[in-house]
Amino acid sequence: MMDGFDMLLVASAVIAGAAPLVMATLGETLTERAGVVNLSLDGTIVLSAMAAFVVASLSGSLLAGFAVSAAVGACVAALVALFSVRLGMSQVAVGFVLTLMTRDLAYFLGSQYARTEGPISGSAPVPVLSGMPVLGQVLFNHSVPVYLSMIMVAFAWWYLYRTSWGLRLRCVGENMEAAYARGIDPDLVRVVYTVAGGALVGLSGAAFSLCTKPGWGQPQGCEGSGWIALALVIFGAWHPVRAALGAYLFAFLQVMSIHFQSWFPDVPAQVFQVAPFPLMIFLLAVSTLVHSEEAKMLAERHPLLRILTRGLAQAPPLSLGKARSRD
Amino acid sequence: MTIALRSIHKHYGDIRANDGIDLVLRPSTVHGILGENGAGKSTLMKILSGYVRKTSGTILVDSEEVDFKNPAEAASHGIGMLYQDPLDFPPLTVLENFMAGQRMKAWPDRSLFRKRLAGLCREMGFDLDPETPVVRLTVGERQQLELARHLAAGRRVLILDEPTTGISSLQKDVLFSALRRLSSGGATVVLVSHKLEDVETLCDEVTVLKKGRVSGSAVRPFSTGALLEMMFGREPAPPLRKGHEPGAQALFLEGVHAHGGRTGLAQCTVKVNRGEVVGLAGLEGSGQDVFLRVAAGLTRPTRGRVHVSRKDMTGRDHHAFKTMGVAFQPAARLEEGLIAGLSVAEHCAILERSSFSLDLDASASLAQERIQSFQVAARPESPVESLSGGNQQRLLLSFLPDDPVLLLLENPTRGLDRESVRWVWERLDAIASNGAAIVFSSSEIDEILMVSDRVLVFFEGRIIHDVRPEDTDALMLGKAIAGRV
Ligand SMILES: Nc1ncnc2c1ncn2[C@@H]1O[C@H](COP(=O)(O)OP(=O)(O)O)[C@@H](O)[C@H]1O
Ligand SMILES: [Mg+2]
């Protein structure tokens, strides 16, 4: 029953498969840390996946594909910023409309390129390091976008918690009025990180169509991952490393579902394909429930649970989703 | 640095928050700005700190005209303000709050800031742990942190808006001696307060505001009577305790333990009878907040039992407590008591709850009635957040049920001037005479001694004293509150 199961292969597949989700999750984490919910994620990923594929096919340059996808993501996010930060409209409504529009736009504009051949960002083992036992195969035998996703996790943490810009970003997310009183321009910060986060989300689209799920069609295969990324930000308690771990967990569930299919041939394949989604919802519910009074009381009686819930309980940025009042 | 304000106006629609104010602030001086709630003190200071833009008028800093468009511009002139509601970042650590807004490199050396903070704390007599999240600090500690931050940034003009509200008398002493030291070092210190005793202890000079205008000024030594007259026009009588006939049992907590707040609540056994006014004394967050919420059915005890009117209510929800005649009024008026964004009339409409469709005309006339009988300075259509603190409190009081069994009030007079305090207690006294038990918390020992029939002293989540006011005095209570029994 366990034949063909290789821990190293699974780990390597998880790292590679999670790459686009990691990028999108980090992008949205940055945006939400500034207090803005960019709900247009799912459509943005589809649109930028299409743009990246088409540009890379026509120009023959992968780099051009990635650059264009980041630009597309940044543009959609700029719309969110314009409408919700500058004009004070509802972040949720703006994001929701945009997610539907961008997805349909992607299918419409990309229809003639569906199922055509396109370039693929192939494996590029890191010299020397890829020769290491165990870690070499798991971490250093991937394509460039996958390395990028791993570096981004560390960079995002460093940026948020160790630079003055990161501090300013977190300040705005927690209390816009206080940030203003300290000479920070909250609106500017929000716009900048909505756009920057959007660029990362755009890159995630390219990582799908040029790397982990290469090609373009309707559906492309990246649909739904934007919603997962939004959930992972909450699961990750707005912490970039925890959110990325959530993305790896989700990728692990997906990889395992393939193995389960071969181990339990009697169970319909769809069960395993769909299983990661409700599992993520379950985990999300657990990580939210630990905020409740009952959970806290239970935890007080069991020291082990207490440690667990302390780790899980994290409140969202205090100004998340709020608009700034002006007089 | 000498600052001169000339004919400052700030209008919010029809409201003239500042109506032509002239003021001179000198270095090496602690300047008091005194005035009752709504006099326009905060507005004037926010204009000086660049947080609010003036409608008209001139500001001169060392004879040079300035016009601050935002707080950053005022800061660059060395002006810093501690706002009435602390403007900080509760989830971030002390060190991060200290750093935010300061000049620093792209990836700052945290240990440098840590050293600077530690040095300032030593100098000022503060005790702040750099890695604690600011949510866990008391109001007084948050204030100390803000002060240290302004000093680190080199501010020479420090404005403190109602800094003594919600801090212990010990913290007040630390704060005042720090401010004295700063002013003798050449800084310009401005203390905004509605409390006479603060101004009298600390300030060298005082300007009194009334209804957006300067109603007078004085220099040390002050005459209390003269200052009161500038504030109110006449001296208000102090609130008086009538002494009520205790009636049937209203509340009985039996060995209650509960979580929440800073300390939780431990081993609490207390009986309160109808007609009694019980004051809860203690440092902010020593268990009074949890006590009130347990008695209101908002927090469930982990151990012990809660009885209301001799009925066991342990584990029941707030709604069940309400139907038993328990009413609770939290300290955070805008967060927990009122709904920002709704008007006075809409608040009245919610309370009616009689029919599905809102009868807005009826609730407007009802609102008008309440506004008149509780002397709220507002119109039915005013949004509640535009009301001053005293008026929000009056409005909340007008929402209390007419004949409650148990009234739980958290800091009911916080931030109110003497006249409003007296007014509030006249109302509450009448409610107690009608047979309600009143339990309230307050950080003002004098207030507790004056209006209570009984005083419970909280320390670290426990009740360490249960005394009658005639058997104690302010000094004894002050010691008990600080844990030095
Ligand atoms: N943002 C605002 N919008 C409308 N009215 C305001 C605003 N801020 C203050 N006011 C009004 O201006 C007056 C003065 O308020 P304030 O300066 O806060 O008084 P104080 O600090 O002396 O208690 C009050 O009547 C208050 O309701
Ligand atoms: Mg004020």
A7-310 CATH pick, 1.10.3470, 1.20.120, 3.40.50, 1.10.1790: 1.10.3470
Higher-confidence position of B195 and B275: B275
Is residue A187 less than 8 Å (CB to CB) from chain B? no
Q: Residue B246 pLDDT more than 90?
A: no
Set of chain B residues whose Cβ sits within 8 Å of the Cβ of A170: 89, 92, 96
Nearest-by-CA chain A residue for B47? A181
Mean pLDDT of B272-287: 89
- What is the pLDDT at residue B238? 52
Q: Residue B307 pLDDT more than 50?
A: yes
Is residue A302 less than 8 Å (CB to CB) from chain B? no
- What is the pLDDT at residue B416? 77
- CA–CA distance, B428 with B442 (Å, rounded to integer): 14
Q: Residue B423 pLDDT more than 60?
A: yes
* Partners of B216 in beta bridges: B208
pLDDT band, very low/low/confident/very high, at B340 (cuts 50, 70, 90): confident
A-interface mutation test, from B89, B92, B102, most A Cβ less than 10 A away: B89
Mean pLDDT of B235-246: 58
Set of chain A residues whose Cβ sits within 8 Å of the Cβ of B90: 174-175, 318
Q: Residue B482 pLDDT more than 80?
A: no
- What is the pLDDT at residue B230? 86
Mean pLDDT of A279-306: 71
What tokens were used for A303?
């020291």
Q: Residue A170 in contact with residue B92, Cβ under 8 Å?
A: yes
Mean pLDDT of B431-447: 88
Q: Residue B358 pLDDT more than 70?
A: no
Which of A146-160, A203-217, A293-307, B359-373 has the weakest average pLDDT? A293-307
pLDDT band, very low/low/confident/very high, at B243 (cuts 50, 70, 90): low
pLDDT band, very low/low/confident/very high, at A325 (cuts 50, 70, 90): low
Higher-confidence position of B196 and B257: B257
pLDDT band, very low/low/confident/very high, at A5 (cuts 50, 70, 90): low
pLDDT tens digits, one per residue of A31-69: 999 999 999 999 999 999 999 999 999 999 999 999 999
- What is the pLDDT at residue A308? 62
- What is the pLDDT at residue A247? 94
Q: Residue B262 pLDDT more than 90?
A: no
Mean pLDDT of A274-286: 78
Q: Residue B89 in contact with residue A171, Cβ under 8 Å?
A: yes
Which residue's CA is the closest to the ligand 1 atom numbered 17?
Answer: B40
Distance B40 CA to ligand 1 centre (A): 6
Percent above pLDDT 70 for chain B? 94
Inter-helix orientation angle B360-373/B344-352, to 10°: 110
- CA–CA distance, A84 with B19 (Å, rounded to integer): 36
Q: Residue B431 pLDDT more than 80?
A: yes
- What is the pLDDT at residue B367? 80
Question: How confident is the prediction for chain B on average, in pLDDT?
Answer: 87
pLDDT band, very low/low/confident/very high, at A293 (cuts 50, 70, 90): low
ipTM for the assembly: 0.86
Question: How confident is the prediction for chain A on average, in pLDDT?
Answer: 89
pLDDT tens digits, one per residue of B196-231: 888 999 999 999 999 899 999 999 998 888 887 888
- What is the pLDDT at residue B276? 92
Residue B217 φ/ψ, nearest 5 degrees? -150, 160
Please tell me which of A8-17, A66-75, B317-326 the model is most confident about, judged by mean pLDDT. Answer: A66-75
Is residue A324 less than 8 Å (CB to CB) from chain B? no
What tokens were used for B222?
């002050």
Please tell me which of A30-34, A298-302, B231-235 the model is most confident about, judged by mean pLDDT. Answer: A30-34
Mean pLDDT of B235-256: 74
pLDDT tens digits, one per residue of A72-82: 999 999 999 99
- What is the pLDDT at residue B242? 60
Which of A201-205, B254-258, B430-434 has the weakest average pLDDT? B430-434
* Partners of B278 in beta bridges: B439, B454
pTM summary value: 0.75
Residues with CB under 6 A from ligand 1: A 327; B 12, 15, 17, 35, 37-43, 386, 388
Higher-confidence position of B372 and B96: B96
Q: Residue B234 pLDDT more than 80?
A: no
Higher-confidence position of B167 and B153: B153
Is residue B111 less than 8 Å (CB to CB) from chain A? no
Higher-confidence position of A210 and A307: A210
- What is the pLDDT at residue B372? 79
Nearest ligand to the C-alpha of residue B33?
1
Q: Residue B375 pLDDT more than 80?
A: no
- What is the pLDDT at residue B235? 47
Is residue A318 less than 8 Å (CB to CB) from chain B? yes
pLDDT band, very low/low/confident/very high, at A258 (cuts 50, 70, 90): confident
pLDDT tens digits, one per residue of A170-219: 999 999 999 999 999 999 999 999 999 999 999 999 999 999 999 999 88
- What is the pLDDT at residue A292? 67
- SS in 3 state form for chain A? CCCCCCHHHHHHHHHHHHHHHHHHHHHHHHHHHCCCCCCCHHHHHHHHHHHHHHHHHHHCCHHHHHHHHHHHHHHHHHHHHHHHHHCCCCHHHHHHHHHHHHHHHHHHHHHHHCCCCCCCCCECCCCCHHHCCCHHHHHCCCEHHHHHHHHHHHHHHHHHHHCHHHHHHHHHHHCHHHHHHCCCCHHHHHHHHHHHHHHHHHHHHHHHHHHHCCCCCCCCCCCCHHHHHHHHHHHCCCCHHHHHHHHHHHHHHHHHHHHHHHHCCCCCHHHHHHCHHHHHHHHHHHHHHCCCHHHHHHHHHCHHHHHHHHHHCCCCCCCCCCCCCCC
Q: Residue B157 in contact with residue B183, Cβ under 8 Å?
A: no
pLDDT band, very low/low/confident/very high, at B387 (cuts 50, 70, 90): confident
Set of chain B residues whose Cβ sits within 8 Å of the Cβ of A182: 71-72, 75, 100-101
Q: Residue A313 pLDDT more than 60?
A: no
User: Nearest CA of chain B to the CA of A261: how many Å?
Assistant: 45
Nearest-by-CA chain B residue for A316? B91
CA dihedral B177→B179→B185→B188, nearest 10 degrees, is -160
pLDDT band, very low/low/confident/very high, at A310 (cuts 50, 70, 90): low
Tokens 């500034």, residue located: A34
For the four alpha carbons of B53, B58, B61 and B64, in that order, the dihedral sign comes to positive
- Give DSSP secondary structure letters for B74-120: HHHTTEEEE-SS--S-TTSBHHHHHHTTS---SS--HHHHHHHHHHH
